[in-house]
Structure 1
């Protein structure tokens, strides 16, 4: 029986992981992805599933199925936490996720986006192509600038189109050749209630959903404050009851000033904190 220790010789240095969060962070740094499981109770997962359907119904009602399909947005729900369901505010602040993110991103980070994603049964959708979550960028960095945390509302299985990733591609500027992608892609199976954590520069794609049910998830992108939010959350979210930490995470402290006067006032506020 294995002791769990790796035998080696001639090794002068080896990383040590003393928690599951450090293990997840190590996997993300090295191969670009990992699964952070058991992050919520069954009751919380049921609440999130119901809230997802409530938000989806209101979203489609507000913007219209015809319009959303015409612009290839029908299977995406933008800015989930701004639609009156506190469950998605709590999800973005999940303590297990926050612990992991603090190991991966140096210094402060903000929630750049939180979107509901639906992989429909036997139908193409806009996440079914290889991409990075910082699209159109062909650079690599020595440490993560942005992390994707994809929360599984439903189980992710090969049958229902679980996400494919290209391991290690967050360290390469170009997408590999078609042959390389086909030979080296990996499909990630994950249980409902887990986060699939990716370096945002990792190439990935949604799989083909061959099941009879849609596969649902809530996608989070966390970035250093250098990046603009996809949708400006402070203008669309009531921050009056949020903690200082939550206000910081949701970008209330990083909205660009609209004038010199606003800039000078914000500088004064920062100096008095």
Structure 2
């Protein structure tokens, strides 16, 4: 078959897509969505990646979220009791209520990102359902924070990664997550001027993850729509960091048998309760 040259307008378009540069001898390569997200997190502190879920699966997850919200409220004193401690817009550890949330926590793309960015073994530090209430109501994620709060240091590699799953589309109107780009590189919280001039809203379609270096400052935006905006937050960390809730104890010894899931949930990184238990663990490693 005779080879034909590409049209000149196509060649020009391809050349226009390559940023001009000079004096450059080294360049980062990123060819997949996972690699591009990792590069964005390294440079800016955040990125967005598609979770790879079908609309039918998202419907199942949405139904499970609403059930978990009702069950969580029922088991912990009701909505008024949760309001009294500002916990009425949070579902703690939804994977305890439905296995679909464990499936979400074990998303392959997110775990690949964690493995590329975090050195060594990755543990699920926490999973929480997050509800940004409608009609511009205040909620506890609407203030600037790091997901390792009260910490003012930087590290050469992330100690933890935040993966916020967008159960609903994140828009400006419904309170898209706000970030301070590259603030994971600075120890102190930026000046008020920087915050007001440089804060960026991260919009994302339903079914995607907003992935953050846990040291980047971020906050929930204001939801001015008539519907709540729902998300499921995950923090993955090195096992040196204490889990928000002791997952093996909370879930029970027989919650999962799959070795990969047990490792993810921290069953293999528990703190020894005695010298004898510590020594037994050492013996298993030799």
Q: Tell me how far 1:57 sits from its aligned partner.
A: 0.4
Structure 1 unpaired stretches of 5+: none
Deviations 1:63-114 (A, max 9, x none): 121111011111011111112x010000000112112211111211100000
Q: Tell me how far 1:267 sits from its aligned partner.
A: 1.8
Structure 2 unpaired stretches of 5+: 1-12
Q: Tell me how far 1:254 sits from its aligned partner.
A: 0.9
Kindly indicate whether the alpha-carbon contact (under 8 Å) linking 2:144 and 2:219 is maintained by their aligned counterparts in 1: yes
Deviations 1:214-254 (A, max 9, x none): 00000000001110000011012255443211111110011
Aligned partner of 1:78 in structure 2 is 92
Give the Cα–Cα distance (whole angstroms) in 1 for the partners of residues 111 and 57 of structure 2. Answer: 17
User: Partner of 1:248: helix, strand, or coil?
Assistant: helix
Aligned partner of 2:133 in structure 1 is 120
Kindly indicate whether the alpha-carbon contact (under 8 Å) linking 2:48 and 2:211 is maintained by their aligned counterparts in 1: yes
Moved more, 96-105 or 50-59: 96-105
User: Partner of 1:192: helix, strand, or coil?
Assistant: coil
Aligned partner of 2:273 in structure 1 is 258
Aligned partner of 1:167 in structure 2 is 181
Q: Count the aligned residue pairs.
A: 270
User: Partner of 1:236: helix, strand, or coil?
Assistant: helix
Write the mapping of 1:173-192 to structure 2, written as runs, cut at 5 A. Answer: 173-192=187-206
Give the Cα–Cα distance (whole angstroms) in 2 for the partners of residues 72 and 173 of structure 1. Answer: 28
Aligned partner of 1:156 in structure 2 is 170
Give the Cα–Cα distance (whole angstroms) in 2 for the partners of residues 175 and 32 of structure 1. Answer: 14
Q: TM-score, normalised by structure 1?
A: 0.96
Aligned partner of 1:233 in structure 2 is 247
Moved more, 1-10 or 180-189: 1-10
Quote the RMSD (CA, aligned, Å). 1.2
Give the Cα–Cα distance (whole angstroms) in 2 for the partners of residues 48 and 239 of structure 1. Answer: 25
